[in-house]
A = this chain, B = another copy of it.
Amino acid sequence: MKRIAILGSTGSIGRSTLSVAESYPDRFQIVTLAAGSNLEAAFAQARRWRPRVISMAAEADADVLRSRLKKEGLGEIEVVHGAAGTVRVATHAEVDFVVSAIVGVAGLEATYEAVRAGKILGLANKECLVAAGELITAEARRQGKPLLPIDSEHNAVHQCLRGGRMEEVERIWLTASGGPFLNTPHSEFAAITVQQALNHPTWKMGRRITIDSATLMNKGFEVIEACRLFHMPPGKVEVIVHPQSTIHSMVEFVDGSILAQFSVTDMRLPILYALTYPERIPSDMRFAVSDLRHLDFCPPDLKKFPCLRLAYEAVEAGGAKTVALNAADEVAVAAFLEGSIGFNQIPRIIEDVLAATNSGKLDSIGKVLEADAEARRLAQQRVADGKKIEGPRATSFA
């Protein structure tokens, strides 16, 4: 019986994790949950799963939840809140495995504390590796505990890596769907609307990650995550566009053999893999190999998608640069979604923030959060200065 904490239980990955737990009641026990602000969902989860502890983001929500649970005769469920509450969920003594799936930097501290407490980590929170990857991977190594990736690309890489030893890896190939603008001429990028950008061809995801997929920034984040998760230099992590997203990623070994992983595009599969690793257990998520027909590939166009180039530059520099990359992107994407800036301006804001950020190692989560706040401030300023950055400078990326 694996005893599980979920950080971000009401989000998409959190719900998929609970769905996996539902399918294998003999294998997984949900011990603690950290929800966000969705009180109804948190209440339903607490009633269904009867965790030892559940945390809400806000104290007021925690108070409401506590009294509702008491009325249901579930007063024994401890209801906590805020950052300290999330840490309590992540480090609970009865937890073996922590699914880290809180979007944004809110999950950083709790994830880091989970690793420090010797938990095995299933990582679905991008910021853990993009912003604080150096800290978290170093701590996991110190603890001798695996970090198990839950997004489909890194999960695929993890599976392919089983075909050899780490020192036998020549290169990691992350596949990218290419997003909705793969075949859109660069000249039309300035006119891209929010609705167009939210229309991702293969995955149904949250709004920010959908825009990040459209700019290929999401792939850039994945390059950074791969570098940190698998201790690879950026030059050994490459991206290849594969519009069908059938092959989730590949590993090239020094002898010239390449292993690729594919499966249905269902997040429950990498979640199940992470939760059961090093075992594999039967699931109903079958990919019909006999229905395979065509797989297409092409190299990414870094001129059309400068965000990918910026990610390589940030991870090459390391430290605060990748924190700034993530923070500036979050601000820029929010501004795009609000209609404050154009699609083409997303990479420009990020590039400006990166240029204004010192590289340099960050040796605590506190410093990561400081760097994050500073980059957000810079990015907000750039958005506010929007008028100034509009216009012909967009061509500097062409």
A: residues with CB less than 8 A from B are 159-160, 162-165, 168, 170-171, 173, 238, 240, 247, 250, 252-264, 269, 272-273, 276, 279-287, 289-290, 292-299
Residue in B165, B260, B293, B294 whose CB lies within 8 Å of A260:
B260
Copy number in the complex reads: 2
Q: Given contacts A162-B163, A293-B296, A299-B290, is CB(A256)–CB(B240) below 8 Å?
A: no
Closest B residue, CB atoms, query A295:
B295
**Bound-state Cα–Cα, A263 to B163, Å:** 14
B163 touches A259 (CB 8 A): yes
Given A254-B282, A257-B263, A257-B280, A238-B163 contact (CB < 8 Å): no
Q: Complex formed: what's the CA distance from A194 to B295 in Å? A: 33
Q: A258 contacts which of B256, B287, B295 (Cβ < 8 Å)? A: B287
Q: Which of A252, A255, A260 has the most CB of B within 10 A?
A: A255
Q: Which residues of B contact A284 (CB under 8 A)?
A: 256
- Contact between A240 and B290, CB atoms less than 8 A apart: yes
Q: Which of B165, B256, B287 contacts A263 (CB 8 A)?
A: B256
Are the C-beta atoms of B238 and A280 separated by less than 8 Å? no
Instruction: Report Cα–Cα, A160/B299, bound state, in Å.
Output: 25
Q: Report yes or no: B163 in contact with A159, Cβ–Cβ below 8 A.
A: yes
Q: Decide: B162 and A280 in contact? CB cutoff 8 A.
A: no
Known interface pairs A294-B295, A295-B294. Does A289 touch B163 (Cβ–Cβ under 8 Å)? no
